[in-house]
Amino acid sequence: MITSPFFVKPTPLQVVMLKVAAALLPAIAVYVHVFGIGILVQLTLATLTALATEAACLKLRKYPVKPFLLDGSAIVTAWLLALSLPPLGAWWMVVLATLIAIAVAKHLYGGLGQNPFNPAMIGFAVMIVSFPAQMSRWAAPLALQSGPLDAGAQLAYIFTGRLPGGIGFDAIASATPLDTVKTVLIQHGGLGDVLQTTLFTSGGLLPSQMGWIALAYLAGGLYLLFSRIIPWQTPLSFIAGLGLMAAAMHLYDPNHYTSPLFHLFGGAAMLGAFFIITDPVSGPTTPRGRLIFGASIGVLTYLIRVFGGYPDGVAFAVIILNIAAPFIDQYTQPAVFGRKAKQNDSSKKGAKP
């Protein structure tokens, strides 16, 4: 007969990271289909840089190298960062961003489990603040390019900054859907004008190319949820916070504020919901705290997207709420079993000191 107590064996870190990496594979496959093999080059550069930087930092700190390299955390950080950068960005961009993420955002604070900020989002934020022009140079999806770039042309542009045949990058460049909407609205246009731009004419206000990538992230995130790798409170509250804000503003003025579907399936919303804000190190640990954390990031993401200076606000919203995570944890701790709640001052009158 089996009796209590029962102890749940924790999932090894390597298994967790392997499942997170596996959950990203559907999105990577769709990414390659939409933008070409450039994203595979970025993932390779980020992975090699992350492993080299991790090994160097561990050596400097006199830690054993092999166990930490094999836990997979550096690779997952590298992948999340590479998927956040332009797929045809210059090689040095992803290398520099990964170096900052691993050396500064992770090891400077003591390594895995000690970092107060999400390393991938720190790397992204530093790059977009320092190199805004380079970070905004996104190529159009292959289906919208007059002459789709082959693998050789993509490799040449990533490593040399030049396209074959003297083609300028502007010939294949395209703003992201979020950036396009923000730019048109700033120019006193309406959503009707947005739909006339090349990016949206083939798929409505939610371009099908971007929508499929978001759906792939959603599928990977649901796999992590059902595998109990991530808690349900954080992604659900993030989606609710972002969706409700978008719905309220869309009802207020549908000609200037896009629908909730556009915000949820455009930009980094699904990547952020299931793979970024669920980082157990830089977020709260209590169930109520996770709900507050996720909802706050969702609301702040919307405010930055619509009223801020950047087209997408996931990275900055995550970093800001990372700062608040210890405070949220402190004030959402559940009551200790067997201990009564503190009485108020009025109930203590007449009590002996």
Q: Domain residue spans in the chain?
A: 11-173, 176-333
Distance between CA atoms of residues 321 and 314, nearest Å: 11
**In the beta sheet, which residues pair with residue 107?**
none
**Residue 77, token pair as written in the block:** 């950080």
pTM for this prediction: 0.87
**Residue 113, token pair as written in the block:** 């489990």
Q: Which residue has the tokens 């203590």?
A: 348
Q: Which of 324, 321, 280, 282 is nearest to 299 (CA)?
A: 321
Distance between CA atoms of residues 55 and 66, nearest Å: 8
Please state whether the peptide bond connecting residue 5 to the residue before it is cis, i.e. omega within 30 degrees of 0.
yes
Residue 283 dihedral angles phi and psi, to the nearest 5°: -120, 175
pLDDT in tens, the chain (353 residues): 555 555 556 668 889 999 999 999 999 999 999 888 999 999 999 999 999 999 999 999 999 998 888 889 999 999 999 999 999 999 999 999 999 999 999 999 998 889 999 999 999 999 999 998 888 888 777 766 666 778 888 898 899 888 777 677 766 776 677 777 777 766 666 666 665 555 555 555 555 667 889 999 999 999 999 999 999 999 999 999 999 999 999 999 888 888 898 889 888 899 999 999 999 899 999 999 999 999 999 999 999 998 888 888 899 999 999 999 999 999 998 877 666 655 544 444 554 54
